[in-house]
Amino acid sequence: MVKDEALEQEMLGWRHALHQHPEVGFQEVHTAAFVAKVVKGLGFDVHCGIGGTGLVASLTVGEGTGVIGVRADMDALAMTETATNRPHVSRKSGCMHGCGHDGHMAMVLGAALLLSRSRDFNGTVRLIFQPAEEHGCGANAMIRDGLFEHFPVDEIYGVHNIPGMPVGHIATRAGGIMASEDNFVIRIHGRGGHAARPQMAVDPLVIAAEIILALQTIIGRSVDPSDSAVVSCTEIHSDGIRNSIPTHVEIKGDTRSYSPEVQALLERRIRELCTGIASAHGATCEVEYTHEFVPTVNWPECTLVAIQAAQRVVGPSNVDGNVAPMMISEDFGAFLRVVPGAFAFIGNGASGTPGGVPLHNGQYDFNDEILSIGARYFAELVRTQLKP
């Protein structure tokens, strides 16, 4: 692949500028203004304020009626960047691009530059810059705000960088590629007392420990082995102190799955186990269960388009068209419930390399080596589907 030095320098500048000024979901004011300025300068028609801070940039070439959507997420994470030695480190305390959305935006902006420069397609490309992906709210906010009524697309495509996958590799699959995410909060109400006289109390911490272990039996004994699912308890809080048994304990966690049937099963079994165990110990409990992310399910015909475009960019040997599904969740799934499309993974770097640092880690950084790959992939998708 011939290097385009001007393109790579532009994307590098965009990515580092975005990385230095991260903003969490629905607060991407500076980010949206930065993106809008770039795409306006490339000749795109820009509409802002969609679903809060989201925006759409459109470019029409020729008389073709086809419309292809390309999406980038904009939000950062409320976490501290610990790799302070890099020159483009976050300038906002307690906030960083720990998932690579700065790179996703830069890749889509790179595709915009390529397409505006070559204009070798016939139809309309829409760049969709989405807020609040991290908490699964932004896609639905844009949809509710009339995204696809005001800015219709025939197909939509997106990507996510994947640490652990080598640079130069692109992977996707037809059907479910990423899981749903549901969150739960379990509130156990016992009777507090002196730690030296446990017989006078109903200890919610002991009950919580039993519940945490029991929830792990759901996967092994309630879910069909041919289905994939995960139940994780991730937080526990109490109102106790060193020498006092608490009265209240709260457990938080999440579940992952690929089908509505398994989602319903997980919720039912969590409620049954928690209620039964608490009751057996003379306590009460409440379970709050919410649906945060829908599964990301690629459309087969669009997946084939994505595979072919990827092969033209990185070569057939570097494309996996049947990658194993991942239990991570992505707000892009909400778009795929409304319009056809496909999602793909782009290797951020093999394990043990700088690009292999896990997502949501204070040392993580998007690998600038893959900016050009992503930009060319998106541009190739548009050219493929909007042939002159």
CA dist., res. 190 & res. 298, Å (int): 46
The CA-based angle 234-235-239, given to 5 degrees, is 165
CA 377 vs. chain centroid, Å, equals 19
Helix, strand, coil shares, percent, the chain, to 5? 35, 30, 35
Main-chain phi, psi angles of 342, to 5 degrees = -155, 150
- Known binding residue 134? Answer is yes
Q: Are 194 and 244 in contact (CB under 8 A)?
A: yes
- Known binding residue 16? Answer is no
CA dist., res. 256 & res. 266, Å (int): 9
Angle of helix 260-280 relative to helix 204-215, nearest 10 degrees, comes to 150
Alpha-carbon dihedral angle through residues 333, 338, 342, 346, given to the nearest 10 degrees: -40
Strand partners, 230: 256
CA dist., res. 269 & res. 275, Å (int): 10
Amino acid making up residue 155: E
- Known binding residue 19? Answer is no
Main-chain phi, psi angles of 60, to 5 degrees = -110, 130
The CA-based angle 125-130-131, given to 5 degrees, is 165
**Residues at the annotated binding site for Mn(2+)?**
99, 101, 134, 160, 360
**Residues at the annotated binding site?**
99, 101, 134, 160, 360
